[in-house]
Structure formats: structure tokens, C-alpha cells
Amino acid sequence: MTRRLYGLFDEYQSHENAKHMLRAMKENARQGFYNGAPVPLGYMLVEVEKRGTKIKKRLAVDAVEAETIKQIFRLYREGDGTSGPLGVKGITCWLNERGYRTRKDARFGVATIHCILTNRVYVGEWVFNRRCSKTLAEKPKSEQISISVPAIIDQAEFEAVQATLKAHNPRVTPARVVTGPILLTGLATCTTCNGPMTLRTGTSKSGQVHKYYRCSTHGRMGKTGCTGRSIRMDTLDDLVTDRLVAELLQPDRLRETLASLWAQRDEKAAQVDGRVAALRGEVAGAEDKLRRLYRMVEEGVTDLDEILKDRLKTLKEERDRAGAALDRIRVAERPPREIAPELIERFGRLMRENVTAGEIPFRKAWLQAIVDRVEVGADVIRIVGDKASLEAAIAGAGSSPTPGVRSSVRKWRARKDSNL
């Protein structure tokens, strides 16, 4: 009984120590000091204050390692200038081949690169007490403490990387659509059933292998699912790329397409501006009427009877309704009214060069930047795209030489353990 009593007191004392220690660490984090977690690559610890025997430290940018972090993000967004944007595995190979090493002098791994690309500390967001150390469950936001640290990567660049990672997640987009050896994978569709067209091969009597795009619905279900459609792979690839080069990627055609987009945008903006002006007029009119009624009551011209109360209530409701409608209208920042002609010409030249020659994954990245789908019918092939996506691709050509990353990855070790 005595031993159990001692054990009970020891357990209670252990819980009390843990509670007080966590409270002290939270206060230390609120003051912006380091609490002992692993230091992310790109940062180092610096002593900023001494309190008795305790030395307070904060994270500071390590100039040498920060260049490696910037290089990793640059490779993912732009590549090394020879092969276009690199995926997570491509970045890993690129760094290891050129002698880059981690802080522990080890080679980089795929999981390490993926963690770097998704770690928000590089935009200055360091969070303490985010997860429970035993269950790894995320704690409520009220218990989490944000610590300001120097940023290494711009917020816009980081968010662009997250958007690409999310779009190229295999659960959203299969890897074969991004890096496969077939140019129109994920783009070619059958107009009869709206199903995707996939690769099928056949061998002639002479032993030559022929490749075809065939309706996948027909391949899985037969004629009960779709009557089927088939076209030689090289024929469809050439038809699509040649028509894009001839009809869309010429400077005059690009300017004409963008001009129609800008006209539609201006028309919509004028409609929104008119609605905003009308709502502002309603709010101003209701407030003016309310002011006049209040003035009449203050000056004793009229009494605040039930009829006047109802009128005041009605005016307030009208004002609040118009104000709420006005708040819901979010006038987003509009893209530039026009794009420089030299940028349009440069984009057209790059596209004409890169959709017709080079490695398939590289050509596919350029093609998917402006084409949503290729509809294959019995006697017509329709190339479908979005003008806004075309405008975004042209505008991005001034800062990034290629419009996307060539690879996709899993969410490596989401729970940070080795046995999922």
C-alpha cells in the first residue's frame, strides 16, 4: 500500500511538472524565443538574451543554407534552364549529383525535399504547440502559438508551389497524366461518351507496332458503353500541335483572342460597377432619410409614435440589406488591361518551339498550360481551352520560362512516423 501511495504521488508530481513546463515553454514562445525543436534547414540559432544562467535563442537565416532552400524552390518553379521545372524526385537527384548535402552531411531524400517545399517556416510562419506529442493530433488554434521568424521565400512563390503540389497530387491528378510518355493523356476525350481516350497498341503482320488513341469506355464495356473511336497517336498529336501553331500561337491571333477576353471583362466590370453604384445610392438614401427623421424627433416636430418606429425599422432594414449586398461584392484585383506585344510574341515563339519538339513530358507541360481538352469526334477534332488560362500563361512567361512542374509526389509520411 505504501509503494502504491508513493507511486501515486510520483505520478501526480510528474503531471504537475509537465503542466508547468508546458506553460513556461508557451510563454517562452510568445516572447519569440526558441524552445528546442529541430532547427529547419536554412536557419541557425543565435543568442539574443541571457537571463541568469539561461540563454535565450532565436532563429536567424543561415546565408549558406538559405541559398540551398531558394535553389530548391527555384528548381521546382522554373528548373535549371535546360529541362523545365523539376519534380520532387528530380530535385533530389539534381542536388545529390552536384554535391549538395544536408546539415548532417547526408544526401537529400524525396521526403526531405517534399517537407521543405511544404514547410511554412520559410515564409516566416513558425508555430509552437501545434500537435500533441503522444497522439500527433492537431491542437485547437487557441492553444497554438505563432512565432515570427525571418522569411526566406516570398509568400507568392510559396503559395504557387503549394497550388502546384496540390494539383499534381496523385489523388487528384494521376502521375501518368503529368509525366507519362503520351502527349495527349488527360486531354483527349471521346465526344460520344465524354470518356478519356487512352493508348492502345497493335502489331502488323510485318511486326511493326502501331499506337492508337482509343475510347477507354469502349475498351472496358464494349459497344454497350460506347460505339468506340480510334485514331493513330502520331496523327492526332500532329493534328493538334500543327493546328495550335498555325491557328492560335501566331502573334496576331493571340492578340485577337486576348482582345475579345478584355472586352468581355470590361463589360462584366461595367455591370459590377453599376450594381455597386446602385447599392451605394440605396445605402446613402436610407441613411439620409434616417437622419431627417432623427432631426425631426430631436427638434420636436414630431413624436416617436408606433408608426414612426415602424418607419425607422424599415429604413434600417433597407440600409442593412443594401450594405450587406455591397459587402458581398468583392471587386478582385483586375489583371493588366493589356499585355506588352513583345511578351505576346515571345510566348508564341516559345510555345511554337516547345509543343512540337523535345521530350514528351516537357511538351505536355506546355500544352496543358493552354489546352483544357481535345474532343475527338467522328469527323471533327475540337481543341478546347480557356482564354483566362491563356492570358495567365502569357503573363507568366515574363517571369517563369515554363508553365508547370513535370512531376507529382505523394504526401510523404503524413503522420511523421515510419509505419502508417
pLDDT values of the chain reduced to their tens digit, one per residue, 420 residues = 999 999 999 999 988 888 888 888 888 888 888 887 788 999 998 888 888 888 888 889 998 899 999 999 999 988 887 767 888 888 999 999 988 988 888 889 989 999 999 999 999 888 888 787 778 788 888 888 888 889 999 998 999 899 888 877 766 555 555 556 677 877 888 988 888 888 888 777 777 778 888 888 888 777 778 887 888 888 888 888 888 888 888 878 777 777 776 676 667 667 677 777 887 888 888 888 888 888 887 777 777 777 777 888 888 888 888 777 777 665 444 555 566 777 777 777 777 777 777 677 667 777 777 888 888 888 888 888 877 777 777 766 554 444 444 444 444 455 555 554
Question: Strands across the sheet with 230-232, in order?
Answer: 197-203, 209-215, 230-232
Tell me the CB-side half-sphere exposure of residue 391, using CA atoms within 13 A.
18
Q: Which residues pair with 146 in a beta bridge?
A: 127
Residue 118 lies in a domain: yes
Cell 498529336 sits on residue: 237
Residue 215 lies in a domain: yes
Residue 124 lies in a domain: yes
Residue 4 lies in a domain: no
Query: What is the grid cell recorded at 254?
Result: 493571340
Residue 231 CA, distance from chain mean position: 35
**Domain containing residue 50: CATH number:** 3.90.1750.20
- Overall residue count recorded for the chain in this entry: 420
Same domain as 289, residue 212 = no
Same domain as 414, residue 324 = no
Strand 125-128 versus strand 188-190 pairing type: unpaired
Domain boundary among 280, 311, 328: 328
Same domain as 140, residue 62 = yes
Same domain as 108, residue 54 = yes
Residue 55 lies in a domain: yes
pLDDT value for 213: 87
Cβ neighbours of 396 (radius 10 Å): 16
Under 8 Å between Cβ of 406 and 75: no
Q: State which H helix or E strand residue 55 sits in.
A: strand 54-61
Same domain as 90, residue 158 = yes
Residue 28 lies in a domain: yes
pLDDT value for 191: 87
- Distance of alpha carbon 272 from alpha carbon 259, whole angstroms: 20
- Distance of alpha carbon 230 from alpha carbon 4, whole angstroms: 79
pLDDT value for 410: 47
- Distance of alpha carbon 337 from alpha carbon 128, whole angstroms: 44
Residue 101 lies in a domain: yes
Same domain as 206, residue 81 = no
Residue 2 lies in a domain: no
The total domain count for the chain is 3
Domain boundary among 283, 311, 328: 328
Same domain as 262, residue 199 = no
Same domain as 96, residue 84 = yes
pLDDT value for 202: 75
Domain of residue 127, residue span? 23-168+406-420
Strand 230-232 versus strand 188-190 pairing type: unpaired
Same domain as 63, residue 125 = yes
Could you tell me the CA-to-CA distances from 139 to 9, 32, 115, 119, 130 in Å, in that order? 28, 20, 20, 18, 6
Domain boundary among 328, 347, 381: 328
Same domain as 361, residue 277 = no
pLDDT value for 330: 53
Tell me the whole-structure pTM to 2 decimals: 0.49
Same domain as 230, residue 374 = yes
Same domain as 182, residue 144 = no
